Structure 1
């Protein structure tokens, strides 16, 4: 039904839900930076390359004002992230529309489980969309001035098997993309990535067979960049990860809730010492 009110018709016609593309990188980065998030333009570019059919936005009044991303790890797991809305456009249901679009896509692909890491602000909306709380996840930080120049390391293939055991799905494509822009530390029992962020270096993902293996990798990274500012997202249920973070001078900054929709998938969280990012899992 077409509205008879020309003002309503203009408002509706001014809004467009569409897929994001490379032309949206600057606007998408502006949204996440305005929210105080740590993602860079390179993070947005990687998301669009990793999930070209899963990065959604709403354009209103000629500009990008809201986003949501859906990264699928096969049909077993999909990850929702980058749920952002410009402050001037909140309260108009944009986030709900984008989330519904992302969930419809996941359902149409036969994805069994969808997860996300929810802030307190977003938690009620996610519950209404069928998500339930799984466990806490925390951001820890370590202060420092801008740091050192680094060189990248090559990611060895055997570590993919370790990641698959820990997470429960194949994230090879994600890890290969991250490896192109990350420092990588590896041992026979674990691996650790780190990459640049907008306001801090990001520590993660880190997967290891046990606490000593993880501590050796993380300590080597921090020792190589002692003056850097760091963000590290971890499960507080992994007490070894919490102990390592505290020992290395990290402090708890904020707590989110990992939520899930569909068939449960827990993986081996005792092996996950740092996640890949709130937008990646």
Structure 2
């Protein structure tokens, strides 16, 4: 049961420990964040995470990350269950959108909030479906799939640029190389034609992003990334890419969660036919 605050209500920029708290809340919501997401999220935009406090304690969170070219992404929108029903969510929402004023904004909305987001001017572009399934036993290495090392990193950053509405190099430098991650690229004639990242999560692992020029490259990368890990593996698939859906199903993955990718402002023209796995619902 929610309770009335006795003191002032404040909204502040999150510290690193605040962000860890918000990710704990996300885990309690069943969103299964990565074990080491916080540092990479902060790298994207250190001022892009807001915490609402009542009686001096954190009770609500929202991420409103600004990228270049006036693009922003909204996520981690949570009010603690014992503080709901007091209007705190509306305060957070207003503060978040104020920070993104003048920006084209994307979000991945859970089913129960999509009507609310539509009333706020967000338009559904397509569904994302989380497929979850078993890892695979280790197999023979594919010589076309290589680690994303310092030498290859610039080429992977350049390849990623087509798949996101704005440059995100600071975020990716952490996402690709951070703790608990496996990043692999697929080379054809010395060129990057696909890449993917696997990261450890509260439960099992997630693969994201998974970008590839075609389904064969995506399958080779995904097979490599899900070998030899413990626990279930999840990948968030954009439903318009039917080849991605078929690939997940062919590996005995089943739908376990869904969101709607929604935008306020012009929808970006991204290559969904080559998008086999979303990077993260929190930051796009």
- TM-score range for the pair, normalised by the shorter chain length: 0.7 to 0.9
| 1:61-210 matched pairs, under 5 angstroms | 61-107=55-101, 110-111=102-103, 113-143=104-134, 153-154=148-149, 156-181=153-178, 182-188=181-187, 189-210=193-214
Q: Distance in 1 between matches of 2:20 and 2:160?
A: 32
Q: Partner of 2:217 in structure 1?
A: 213
TM-score (normalizing by structure 1): 0.86
Higher helix share: 1
Q: Partner of 2:12 in structure 1?
A: 18
Alignment check: 8 A CA contact 1:80 1:279 kept: yes
RMSD: 2.2
Alignment size in residue pairs: 263
Q: Distance in 1 between matches of 2:216 and 2:197?
A: 17
Tell me by how many angstroms 1:121 deviates: 1.7
Return 5+ residue gaps in structure 1 as ranges.
1-9
Q: Distance in 2 between matches of 1:220 and 1:278?
A: 23
Larger CA deviation: 198-207 vs 172-181: 172-181
Q: Partner of 1:56 in structure 2?
A: 50
Tell me by how many angstroms 1:16 deviates: 1.2
Cα gap change, 1:51 to 1:276, in 2 (>3 Å): same
Alignment check: 8 A CA contact 1:208 1:272 kept: yes
Cα gap change, 1:58 to 1:168, in 2 (>3 Å): closer
Q: Deviations over 1:245-266 (max 9, x none)?
A: 1111211112211110012213
Matching of residue 29 in structure 1 with residue 23 in structure 2:
yes
Q: Distance in 2 between matches of 1:13 and 1:275?
A: 41
TM-score (normalizing by structure 2): 0.85
Q: Deviations over 1:181-214 (max 9, x none)?
A: 2211111310011111111201010111111111
Tell me by how many angstroms 1:163 deviates: 1.4
Q: Distance in 2 between matches of 1:20 and 1:33?
A: 18
Q: Distance in 2 between matches of 1:144 and 1:161?
A: 30
SS state at 2:112 partner: coil
Alignment check: 8 A CA contact 1:25 1:45 kept: no
Cα gap change, 1:89 to 1:170, in 2 (>3 Å): same
Q: Distance in 2 between matches of 1:205 and 1:64?
A: 31
Q: Partner of 2:279 in structure 1?
A: 276
Q: Partner of 2:144 in structure 1?
A: none
Q: Partner of 2:237 in structure 1?
A: 234
SS state at 1:277 partner: coil
Cα gap change, 1:70 to 1:25, in 2 (>3 Å): closer
Alignment check: 8 A CA contact 2:124 2:261 kept: yes
Tell me by how many angstroms 1:226 deviates: 5.7
